[in-house]
Amino acid sequence: MAEGSRGGSLAFGQVVIGPPGSGKTSYCHAMRDFLGRLGRRVAVVNLDPANEALPCPCALDIGELVTLGDVMASLGLGPNGGLLYCMEYLAANADWLRAGLQRLRGHYVLFDCPGQVELYTHHQALKDVFAQLAKWNFRLAAVHLVDSHYCTDPGKFISVLCTSLSTMLHVELPHVNVLSKMDLIEQYGKLAFNLDYYTEVLDLSYLVDHLASDPFFRNFRRLNEKLVEVIEDYSLVSFVPLNVQDKQSMRQVVQAVDKANGYSFGDQEQRSLEALMSAAVGADFHFSSTLAVQEKYVQSQDKAVEEEVMDL
């Protein structure tokens, strides 16, 4: 754990962010179990004051400091305003967080964050908390979860790309964007393009053309073209597909995150040359993980077509 000085020991972890319903809490507990089997000491810290029904106990819970229900009742705020107030209260009482983290020395920490998008695109409080953690010698990567069902709607996918880019620029942490719930993607509908088109964010002009085929979006073609230009000019956004029930999928995400926060190259545990190389290569494991998911997706689509043919 960090001592708050430059000479203190390093601590590693992830801040798990994303919109409501993207699977942040499920991810945290699945990742804790997965890393635990790898021999890491892992602790989950709940920073979501609205998350009162935790599926598993957390090592540290913001509910001990402030809860959304109490803030709404005492200040007369709605859910959104109350959540912003809670994050500002946490930033102003960082000593509480530091004292709690001191008890987690030697742990790899997963921070389960709230789901309000404004907190990651332009509000300052949570960004200040992350900056404070960095001063305490935490080496963090932001894991931004996005529900994979957005891939089935080109308009929503462009919106997700804009949100992801804005989040990356505002949070100012090493960033790993993750398409969550990949095991359910075949239930959301057929994709217009192969899965790697969405994970690698390839030539988005095809997506604009696809949108133009819709009478509603045809009137907004120029706007979509400009949004796509911004995304492509920065060339920062890509995704790692994730199915928390698939060990190989979890392993790919762990490799991406370990590379992002520097854990792969530290001395906290013995690592083989293969592990170091797989983290350093970068694009290879993105391709292999996407290919595996794509094969499963195509197989499920083929099976569905066969069933329809049999029904006929």
Per residue in 226-276, pLDDT (tens digit) is 999 999 999 999 999 999 888 999 999 999 999 999 998 765 544 544 554
Instruction: Please say whether the beta carbons of 1 and 102 come within 8 A.
Output: yes
Interval 182-220: pLDDT, tens: 888 777 778 888 888 889 988 899 889 888 888 888 888
CATH superfamily, region 11-201+237-264+277-307: P-loop containing nucleotide triphosphate hydrolases (3.40.50.300)
Mean pLDDT for 144-153 is: 91
- Sorted by where each begins, the domain ranges of the chain are 11-201+237-264+277-307, 206-236
Interval 55-83: pLDDT, tens: 778 999 999 999 999 999 999 999 999 99
Mean pLDDT for 125-129 is: 96
Mean pLDDT for 166-171 is: 96
For position 304, what pLDDT does the model report? 55
For position 272, what pLDDT does the model report? 41
Rounded-to-integer distance, Cα 12 and Cα 274, Å: 21
299 contact partners, CB below 8 Å, separation of at least 6:
none
User: Which two three-digit tokens encode residue 105?
Assistant: 């020395």
Rg (CA), the chain: 20
285 contact partners, CB below 8 Å, separation of at least 6:
252, 255, 256, 278
Q: How confident is the model at residue 131 (pLDDT cuts 50, 70, 90)?
A: very high
For residue 305, give Cα distances in angstroms to 299, 300, 310: 10, 9, 9
